[in-house]
Amino acid sequence: MNKPAVAREETALEIRFGPLDLAQVRIHTTDAGAIVDDLTGRVATAPRFFERAAVCVDLSMLRQEPEAAEVRAVVDAIRRAGMLPVALVEGLPCVDALARTLELPVVPQFRAPQKAPPVVQPAQAPVTAEPALIHDQPVRSGQRVYARNRDLVVTGTVGAGAEVMADGCVHVYGALRGRAMAGARGSTTARVFCQEFHAELVSIAGVFRVFETVPTELAARPVQAWLSGEDLRLART
């Protein structure tokens, strides 16, 4: 007599959703050679950060809609330079069709918030700001701490390979050896402050600088970073 089949207790896989931050490569040309040359130089200056980094391809700065063959060549050029293209960025009307042809997903475009015109209103009671997120432990390699809709204060060190991120400002009252990202949702007035600068990367509203070697005048010094137009500025405090 045949025994009834035993139902499997484990499923073959699970699908989970979580935060995923990917760099977006905004191309200005479909010239594959120019793209390889430019990106190869950038990867060489900061291989720890850029080599084999997953990136999305933003076509919105092109003067005309590209053909699928051109975009395929762009994707191949980015891959040859050492990065891994994983998606196209929404924007052009043709992106959905191109993504289907190239079998790539489409992700939202990073945009800084637009400044609304001032509105004259009657005086109101002051609104209490969201208190800063205070992190009392060291942030170790591979860890990430994110303060949504507020500032982040880290009272200890941020280790190499660690990441601290805030929609507001980032304050590190110790050594910053990893990556610090302020204005994660596009706030151009956010700043990064630290007591001891050894950063791998600093970013404000998506504008970033990578440091393979920290400039002598900033190394191990108290430093602040801010945006001036499209330029990321750093200075000792």
Among residues 171, 161, 166, 169, which one has the least CA distance to residue 199?
161
CATH of the domain at 64: 3.30.70.260
pLDDT of residue 130: 80
**pLDDT, tens digit, for every residue of 144-162?**
999 999 999 999 999 998 9
Domain membership of residue 16 (yes or no) is no
Cα–Cα–Cα angle for 208, 210, 215, rounded to 5 degrees: 115
Domain membership of residue 169 (yes or no) is yes
pLDDT of residue 107: 86
| Sheet bearing 207-210, strands edge to edge | 144-147, 163-166, 179-182, 201-204, 207-210
Tokens of 191: 């700043």
pLDDT of residue 157: 96
Both 219 and 181 in one domain: the answer is yes
Domain membership of residue 48 (yes or no) is yes
**pLDDT, tens digit, for every residue of 103-117?**
999 988 765 444 444
Tokens of 53: 């980094």
Both 32 and 76 in one domain: the answer is yes
CATH of the domain at 150: 2.160.20.70
Q: Which residue has the tokens 């003067």?
A: 63
The boundaries of the domain holding residue 137 are 133-236
Domain membership of residue 6 (yes or no) is no
Rounded Cα distance, 77 and 45, in Å: 18
Both 92 and 140 in one domain: the answer is no
Domain boundary among 49, 72, 107: 107
Total of domains in the chain: 2
